[in-house]
Every structure is written in structure tokens, then in C-alpha cells.
Structure 1
Amino acid sequence: MELPAPMPVTLPLPLPCLVVDHDGAGGEPCTTLLDVSKGEHQHQYHACDGDAHALLRNRRRWMTPHGWVLSCDPSTLATFLWSPQTTEKIDLPPLTPGQEIPLHSSCSLSGKPTAAGFTVVAVEPEKTAVWYCHVGGNASDRPGWVRYEYDVGSVTFPVVNDRRIQGKKFITRLTAVGGKFYFFKSHDELGVLEFSPAPLHSSVPVRAVERPPGTTCMAPSFVELGGELYLASAFLHYDSGGATSVLGCGVYKLDLAGKRWCKVSDIGDRAFLMCPLYFSGCCSATASGLRPNCVYWMGLCDDDLLRVFDIDRNEGTHGVHDPCKDISGANRNAVWMLPSDEP
């Protein structure tokens, strides 16, 4: 694998930040960066002026929990990873004509990019398929980009007139720990996807976490921290009128030997950053101007709001903010862009 080469990328905002895709005043595609690092109670949001690098304006890019951004040149089908923080670039195999990674896929890496080899995976939204490619390592293990259709079981959906239909379970996002990718399969089952080099999936029974009274739905999301798998789950209540209330948020660390989630109240000087449709990650809190030991959850209730939870407080929500309030235009699509130099 070639050593990363510098790219002329300059960002005017500190990381982490939110990248919001939307329509401009004339209906043209726009990308706005929102800074969320202005103190405990002073969440000020500053928009870029539209002069962001072409790599950000190009919608064919996917953020990852490791801070690296998967990007595709639509004219040449070349793909590469780039770091907005360090301006480094790593070339990946090109797509072939007819191949297309969907725009709203969630993307993850098996670990930090190294010459020893790593795997890039993109999960198609609402399709039973993932894209992957291997980088570095043995050349025979690098077939280029491969679309893999999986089967992780089915789920039964209630519908009107007491009729029920079955559909395939989707993997919504993947979180890598120790070279394996984990996904939420059910409340008491953890899905595992690994590559050796072909994809293999399995599952591990894990005791479900306890829900607060009144919970009708959970919003679970995995985070890797220090080589360990964490679960951050928001607890929601839907009433008969269709309104949603947030009851709180719990953070748990996986005890794989005991096949259970252990609740934690302290993740140190870290902040967990959640985005329901894409990925969950973490970063140093104080260095980023964020509140330590907190969960920042964007779009939890399918809205444009940012909720901040204190992990060590039972009451859950610390604050609710509206970072997109000054952004006009349709098709808002907010995803975190994280630092790429986290230990």
C-alpha cells in the first residue's frame, strides 16, 4: 500500500463538526459545516460560506467513525480515503462501470489504516447488501470492491387488519472492534461480520439491557472505545397520538465472556457522537470543546435536533439544541465528521 499523500484540503472549523447536505436558495446542492464545540451551555453553530473543498461538495462521500472519509470520483470511479484533519489520502480500488455505492450508506473501517492491511465496508440503506474492499496485506486477498448480499434472518411486522408480513432483517450500521464488525441483530443478540477474506457472519447471545418504565422503543447504537464495544441506547416512548418523548439514555460495556451488557457511568474525557442513519463514534471531549462523559445524539427522533445526555445523570437529557435552524432548503442530511488522530 502506498504511503498517504498530502491533499490540499483546508477546513475552517474544528473537528468534530456536523456536515449538512441541503438545497441552497436557488435549489442547487449545498453543504454546510456546523461547529458544535463552543462550551457547556454555549452551543454556537457557524456555517461555512460554500467554499468548502470539492471533496466535501461532492455528495459521493461517506464519513467513518475513524475520521477518514470514503470518497468516489463520479467521473473516473476512483475511490480513496482522505483525512480532513491531516490531509492524507489513501487510494482504494476503483469501482467498475455499473458499480455504485448508494449515497446514504453507512461506512466503517476494520481499524486504523495501516500498511499491514484493513477492510473498508459500506452498508446499503434498507437493502440486504454491503460493499467491501481489502487494502494492503496479501495481494490475492484484494479483489477490488465487492457487493455482498447477506441473510441475517427475518422479522415479522404488524400491519392493518391484524395481518402480519415478514421481511428480511437489515444491517443498519457496523462498528469494528478487533478487526470484527458488530451490528445490532435483536435486543438479546449481537451480530458479527468478519472477513477472512470472504465475509462470514455469526451471532452471539447477549442479555438484553433493562428498560426504564414507560419505554416503548429503544434506539441502540454501538461505539468502539479503547478496543472495547459499548452500547449507547436511548429509551423512547411513543403515545397513541404519534408523539415521541425521550425518557433517557444508558451506556453499557460488553462483557463478552458473561454475555451481558454492563452499565457504565463514566467514559472519562470522552464524548460519544451518534447519528442514527450512519455511524456512532467518539472523540476526546475537552480537546474538542465538548462536554466530557456525554452522548451527543443528532436526529434521535427523526428530526433536526441535537440532544446531549450526561451519562452519569439519571434524568438523561442535558440539553436540546437546533443546529439546523438557520439552514434553509430541503433534503437536510446531517452526519458527524470526526478527528482522525484519536488514539
Structure 2
Amino acid sequence: MESKLTQDVGPLAAAASSFPLLVYDYEHGNPPEISQTVLSVADGSMRTIRVPEMCDYTCLETQQGLMLMVDTASGSCWLWNPQTGEKTALPSMNGELPYQCRCLISDTTSSPPDSVSDDVDPPDSLVLVYDLTRPELLFCRIRGGAGWVKQSYDMGIEVPATEKGPTPSGVISDMAAVQGAFYYSESRDVIGALFSFADDPEPRLELVTFDAPLPTLAVDAPQLKATKSYLLESSRELFLVCLFYISSSIERIEEVGAYVMDFSKKEWCKVTDIGDAAFLLGPGPGCFAASCSAAEHGLKSGCVYLADDNNDLHIFDLKQGTRELVRPTQDIPALSRVPFWLVPGARPPAEPELFQLM
């Protein structure tokens, strides 16, 4: 399928109805310019466009459908909705974003499960950037914030020394924002949660942890080599998606499992039916994962869509236990960054969905 470079597309308006999109950033020409090839996973169509916001600024995608945009020259930054073009100004940022990082936006519409204090009023939503290479967080309030706050943390996990010297603690590589809290997997047996508080003059993040062993593959698979997990929010619930590998190759996935956190029991419960939801997993550093309505966006309900580092798309049907491989209909040039998801903006459900447990 041939794609044409479109210069006047506005804020992705021409492709807004096709979200979610897989975006491939690449450089072309001399001097080099950045363009984007976008794949609509709903109908398999591809088009090559040039989105000025993605070419002129540093951008970080989020699970909530917005993007954090940073002008590295001036430090100005804002949240941008690629479907509508709406922008929300944020405090200016001093310094550059970490070389490898992820971004989340907290949802404070309700109190987080097992909040550390029932007397604390929910704060303004926060934008959180977590470094994937060192134990540092960067965050600010969306409204009324005086500026960005940098906060270090120590998970108490000793890791082997590298050529650059010893590393004092582990680094968060996977996080999800659910009902006002940021959850992450601290180890195979512990889940951590960062709660924000509207303290003056600046907010701070308080850390609590609880035991919740990660699921294991319930089959006799002595050749099992690797397991990768993704945290995400769906219908205001905390979910975990695990990929159980037989080898390091993506084609040798033995099983894909989805689990919902039961906060009353502090345990992961396997689900075989996630209702109308579709889970979107991304490649590259960190573990990007998001959820959207399948029926509303032309996807297969109850499926996990996994984009890999080879530009392929894997579709796993959790209920039927089937899988499908989708390859792009055109060659993807050398990329300037790993592919990433543009997901539809989340819309809170009227009532929490019920999920069928295993």
C-alpha cells in the first residue's frame, strides 16, 4: 500500500477517527526531516504524515491519550491532545528530560484503594515522568503548580555493579496510574504505590508497598526463559498482563495472561474475559501499556495488541486463546525512535465493569 506525505493534516485531525494508532518516527531527506508513518490497527491502513508538534518538540506519550510536549530550547511544556489539538500549559521545565523515561497522568476522580489516609483530600492531577535509568521522579501539578519537583527514591533493591560503578537501588521500569495513585512492580513479590499529597509549598510523593506475588506459568515448562509484565489501568482497575516466553524470541510466547488486582486480598486474580476492553502494549524501554474500548474504536474485544521491536503487531485473544500476527503493509524506514502508541483519550465508565475470573 502506497502512502503519501501529507503536509497539512492539522493536529492529526485526518487520522483522529482511526485511533488507536501505532506511530513510526523516521528521518528522511538532506538535511534530515522527521516524518511519521501511522498504522491504524482497526483497519490496517497506513499513511505517512508530518506532525509539526512531534517534529519540533520532545514528546512523551501517556496511557491516558495525552502527550507531554517540551520545548527544549525554552523549557516551556504543555499537555497536548493529538486528537483535538487542545493544549494545557504546564510550568516550565528546568533542564532536559531524561534520555529514557515514561510519562503518566494521575486520575484523582476518586480515592485510591486502601489510601494511606482517609482524611487527605484528593490533590490536583499530577504529571509524572519516571527515569528508566536512575531512581528519580519528576512531577508537577496540572493546575496551580509552582513548578516541577524532582524526587529520588530507594526501593532497597541491590543490583550488580556496572562499568560505571555500583547502582544503589533498583529502578522503576513499569508503572500505571489508577484512581489517584501510581502503582509499580517493585519485585516479583512486592507492589509499590506512590500517593500524592497537596502539601505546601510543593507536592511530594509518599511510597507504600504490599506483598503481591507475580503470577507464574501454571504449566510444566522447564525451558521457560523469560517473562515480561505490563501494568495498566482499565475501568479504574489495576491490571497486569504477563507474557510467558519459552525463549527470548517474541514468536515463542507460551501464554499471555491478564490479571486484575484484588486490593482486599492483595493478590492478582486471573481474568479470562476483559469485556469490551482492548489492551495495547508497546515495545522499547519501559513497559508502555494502555486500555481502550474495543467496540468504540473498531478493535477486537478482549484482546491484547502487542507491538514488538520488529514493527510487527501481535493480537492475542484472551478468551479464545488464539493469536494473530499482523505485519505493516509497507516497508518502514530506519526509525529515529521505537514505535509508540497514540491511544484514544480515556472516558470514565458510569459503573465499573465486571470481569470474569479464571
Range into which the TM-score falls when normalised by the shorter chain: 0.7 to 0.9
Residue in 2 that maps onto 1:63: 61
Indicate the residue corresponding to 1:202 in structure 2: 208
Which digits, 9 at most, give the CA deviation of each residue in 1:294-329, with x for residues without a partner?
001112xx4332211111134x5x112233851112
> Which is worse superposed, 24-33 or 13-22?
24-33
- Corresponding residue to 1:77 among 71, 75, 78: 75
Shift of 1:202: 2.2
1:338 pairs, out of 338, 343, 354, with 343
Structure 1 residues 192 and 113, CA, compared in 2 at 3 Å: closer, same or farther? closer
Q: Does structure 2 conserve the Cα–Cα contact (< 8 Å) formed by 1:274 and 1:297? A: yes
AA aligned opposite 2:106: S
Per the normalisation by structure 2, the TM-score is 0.79
After alignment, is 74-83 or 243-252 more displaced?
A: 243-252
Q: Secondary structure at the match of 2:268?
A: strand
Deviation at 1:172, TM superposition (A): 1.2
User: Aligned partners of 2:266, 2:346: CA distance in 1, in Å?
Assistant: 32
- 2:175 is matched with 174
* Contact residue 239 and residue 260 of structure 2 kept, 8 A: yes
Distance 1:248 1:278, change over 3 A: closer
> What letter is aligned with 1:249?
V
- Report 1:31-110 matches (<5 A): 31-39=35-43, 44-50=44-50, 52=51, 54-96=52-94, 99-110=95-106
- Written as runs of structure 1 = structure 2, the 5 A alignment for 1:79-228 is 79-96=77-94, 99-111=95-107, 117-136=124-143, 139=144, 142-157=145-160, 168-196=169-197, 197-211=203-217, 212-214=219-221, 215-228=224-237
Cα distance in 2, alignment partners of residues 324 and 291 from structure 1: 20
Shift, 1:93, TM fit: 0.3
The equivalent residue for 1:5 is none
Q: CA deviation at 1:270?
A: 1.4
One-letter amino acid matched to 2:64: H
Q: Retained in 2: the 8 A contact 1:66–1:112?
A: no
Residue 14 of structure 2 corresponds to which residue in structure 1? Answer: 12
Which whole-Å deviations, capped at 9, do the CAs of 1:35-77 have from their partners, x for residues lacking one? 23345xxxx2412233x2x112235011111111110122321
Q: Which amino acid in 1 is paired with 2:209?
A: S
**Alpha-carbon distance in structure 2 between the residues aligned to 1:167 and 1:29:** 40
1:297 counterpart = 2:297: no
| Mapped contact 1:60–1:73 kept (Cα < 8 A) | yes
CA distance in 1, matches of 2:109, 2:83: 15
Checking the alignment, whether the CA contact within 8 Å between 2:79 and 2:88 is kept in structure 1 is yes
Q: What is the SS of the residue equivalent to 1:56?
A: helix
Amino acid at match of 1:37: V
Is contact 2:135-2:171 (8 Å) kept? Answer: yes
- More displaced, 101-110 or 265-274? 101-110
Provide the secondary structure at the position in 2 that maps to 1:74.
coil
C-alpha contact 2:24 2:335 (8 A) present in aligned 1? no
**Displacement of 1:338:** 0.9
8 Å CA contact retained: 1:270, 1:293: yes
Match of 2:241 among 232, 246, 264: 232
Alignment match of 1:279 (pick from 280, 284, 288): 288
Contact 1:25-1:329 within 8 A present in 2 as well: no
One-letter code aligned to 1:271: A
Relative to structure 1, the CA distance from residue 17 to residue 68 in structure 2 (aligned partners, 3 Å threshold; closer, same or farther) is same
TM-score (normalised: structure 1): 0.82
Unaligned runs of 5+ in 2: 1-9, 111-121, 198-202, 349-358
1:327 aligned residue = 332
1:234-249 correspondence runs (5 A): 234-238=243-247, 245-249=252-256
- Give the % identical residues: 26
Q: RMSD of the alignment, in Å?
A: 2.7
For 1:243 and 1:340, locate their aligned partners in 2 and report how far apart those are by CA, in whole Å.
Answer: 29
1:269 pairs with one of 276, 294, 297: 276
1:268 offset after TM fit, Å?
A: 1.2
Gaps of 5+ in 1: 1-7, 160-164
For the structure 1 residues 268 and 27, does the alpha-carbon distance in structure 2 shift closer, same or farther, using more than 3 Å as the test? farther
Deviations along 1:167-211, one digit per CA (max 9) or x if unpaired, are: 621111321111010011112211111222312222110133131
- Determine if contact 1:157/1:167 at 8 Å carries over to the other structure: no
User: Match for residue 259 of structure 1?
Assistant: 266
The residue number in structure 2 matching 1:3 is: none
CA contact (8 A) 2:282 2:340 kept: yes
Give the aligned length.
313
Supply the AA of the counterpart residue of 1:326.
D
What's the offset of the Cα at 1:125? 2.2
Contact kept in structure 2, 1:274 and 1:298, CA below 8 Å: yes
